[in-house]
Amino acid sequence: MFTGLIETSGVIKKIRNKENYLVFDIAAKFADDEHKIGDSVACDGICLTIVAFDEKIFTVEVSQETILKSIAANYKVGSKLNLERPLLVGSRLGGHFVSGHVDDVGLIVEAKPIGASVELSVTFDKKFERLVVDKGSITINGVSLTVNDVIENKVTVNLIPHTLESTNLQNLKAKDKVNLEFDIIGKYAVKAHGIDNSDRQALAKLSEGGW
């Protein structure tokens, strides 16, 4: 479990193919450099497992499922990643609960400067509309952000100067793709409610038919 508060950035130094997997060697400097084989780290919001490491590089394997559900296949040697290690029990939760399991790939519509901040607009698959609410939380490339506004399947967030300076969101522009994770509490609430988008469409058709 993560918080969406980025610890540091990393740079991909090497990309290798391993059967239907990708293997990334990532250079990064954490505050205490405490790593163990099997530890998790969120890379642009993707929860990945450390399979090897030394003083400067840690290695992760990226499964086919992750490649299909995220922007992992778009990375190149030199790509900059937002990094966060898991939440420690007893730590302050400054962001929101982030699982590191990417739900969708979003498309940047606009990155508009507003003073020293940037207003970012992102579209996503319509089936996730019910999971995004005004002033709720959303994770973009692993960064916990507050929803300014949502209209159908387009969400707008504000990136303050600190976020721009500390993450790779500063480099985003129109037509770029990003990893999105929707609020896990919202997902459970929708499931508990028992009606998803397909159910609503079916109910609407029944209503139109006079039922």
Residue found by looking up tokens 């490649």 in the block = 67
Residues 80 and 108 in one domain: no
Q: Above 50 in pLDDT, residue 203? A: no
How many domains does one find in the chain? 2
Residues 71 and 128 in one domain: no
**Average pLDDT over every residue of 106-128:** 95
- The pLDDT tens digits of the residues spanning 150-161 come to 999 999 999 999
Q: Which of 148, 141, 59 is nearest to 103 (CA)?
A: 141
103 Ramachandran zone, left/alpha/beta (phi>0; psi -120 to 50): alpha
> Does residue 26 sit within a domain?
yes
Q: How far apart are CA 152 and CA 95, in angstroms?
A: 24
pLDDT tier, 206 (very low <50, low <70, confident <90, very high otherwise): very low
Collect all residues with Cβ–Cβ distance below 8 Å to 33 and sequence separation of at least 6: 55
End-to-end CA distance of the chain: 45
> Does residue 1 sit within a domain?
no
- What is the model's pTM? 0.84
Of the two residues 126 and 209, the one the predictor is more confident about is 126
pLDDT tier, 196 (very low <50, low <70, confident <90, very high otherwise): low
Q: Which of 97, 96, 102, 140 is nearest to 119 (CA)?
A: 140
Q: Name the residue range of residue 41's domain.
A: 8-84
Question: Given 50, 84, 118, which residue is the final one in a domain?
Answer: 84
> Does residue 201 sit within a domain?
no
> Does residue 176 sit within a domain?
yes
Q: Per mean pLDDT, which range of 13-17, 53-57, 101-105 is the poorest?
A: 53-57
> Does residue 98 sit within a domain?
no
Residues 76 and 111 in one domain: no
What's the CATH number where 119 sits?
Answer: 2.40.30.20
pLDDT tier, 32 (very low <50, low <70, confident <90, very high otherwise): low
What does the DSSP 8-state code read for residue 167? Answer: S
Residues 173 and 145 in one domain: yes
Q: Above 60 in pLDDT, residue 123? A: yes
> Does residue 89 sit within a domain?
no
CB burial of 19-36 (b: ≥16 within 10 Å; e: otherwise) equals eeebebbbebeeeeeebe
Q: What is the 3-state secondary structure (H, E, C) of 39-70?
A: CEEEECCEEEEEEEECCCEEEEEECHHHHHHC
Residues 74 and 110 in one domain: no
Q: Which pLDDT score is estimated for 71?
A: 96
Neighbours of 197 (CB within 10 A): 14
Question: Given 55, 84, 113, which residue is the final one in a domain?
Answer: 84
Question: Given 19, 50, 84, which residue is the final one in a domain?
Answer: 84
Strand ranges, E, within 85-169: 104-114, 117-123, 137-140, 143-151, 154-159
Residues 124 and 186 in one domain: yes
Q: How far apart are CA 160 and CA 113, in angstroms?
A: 10
Q: Which pLDDT score is estimated for 17?
A: 92
> Does residue 199 sit within a domain?
no
Residues 62 and 123 in one domain: no
> Does residue 204 sit within a domain?
no
Residues 111 and 184 in one domain: yes
Residues 72 and 115 in one domain: no
Residues 73 and 108 in one domain: no
